[in-house]
Copies of this chain bind each other. A is one copy, B any other.
Amino acid sequence: MNSSHSIEKAVEYFASLPSIGRKTAQRLVFHILKQPKEYIEDFSNTLISLGENVRMCSVCFSFTDVDPCPICTSTRRDPKIICVVEEPKVIVALERTNEFNGKYHVLHGLLNPLDGIGPDDLRIRELVSRLSGVDEVILALNPSVEGEITMQYIAKMFENLPVKVTRLASGVPIGSSLEFSDEATLCRALENRVKV
């Protein structure tokens, strides 16, 4: 399609990213071509370092440049609370709240019997091995079918262990309009209503 093979290949790569179609990919590549040589060089190096330097933390299984990751080695974070998430990107969202000061554990997926994803495909065994000295495990998983199954599974597994298992509250999002909330969310918000 493009007379330049290099451009064509770059367009293909950008178009392989989620939510980026061929037209957008083309726009991005032509934008990059207009930038100074140093920008393109630095952009490429950044990608190289993404592939070469980013690894999984051997403790919490989040992405990190150094193993164990800064959160795992931090002495200023409470090792008695572990927040369990599906993917590393959830940690970014939670860190933005400045509300949580414990440690994390990434499952890298959710249980999904239909797709054949069982407990051994997730980092559940590794979570169990971290439990000594831990008071509370917060399950910060998506309130989806798979998230619910996974939370139920872990809660049941930890039933007889001396650790409290909690989950994030579900309800109407802050700033949302009750009028447009779906039934399931309203239902849960009613069930879990709290004293004002």
Q: Count how many chain A residues have C-beta atoms less than 8 Å from C-beta atoms of the other chain.
A: 52
Q: How far is the CB of A5 from chain B (nearest CB, A)?
A: 6
User: What are the residues of chain B within 8 A of A63 when measuring CB–CB?
Assistant: 3-4, 7, 30, 33
CB atoms of A46 and B9 under 8 A apart:
yes
* CB of A1 closer than 8 Å to a CB of B: yes
Q: Does A134 lie at the interface of the complex (its beta carbon under 8 Å from any beta carbon of B)? A: no
How often does this chain occur in the complex, in copies?
2
**Would A41 and B33 count as touching, CB distance under 8 A?**
no
Interface membership of A19, Cβ < 8 A: yes
Interface string of A60-81 (1 = CB under 8 A from B): 0011110001110000000000
Q: Which one of B2, B17, B43, B53 contacts A6 once the chains associate, using CB atoms below 8 Å?
A: B53
- Residue pairs across A and B with Cβ atoms less than 8 A apart, 23 shown, are A1-B95, A2-B92, A3-B69, A3-B70, A3-B95, A4-B53, A4-B64, A4-B65, A4-B69, A6-B50, A6-B53, A6-B54, A9-B49, A10-B49, A26-B92, A29-B50, A32-B47, A32-B50, A33-B63, A37-B51, A44-B44, A44-B48, A47-B47
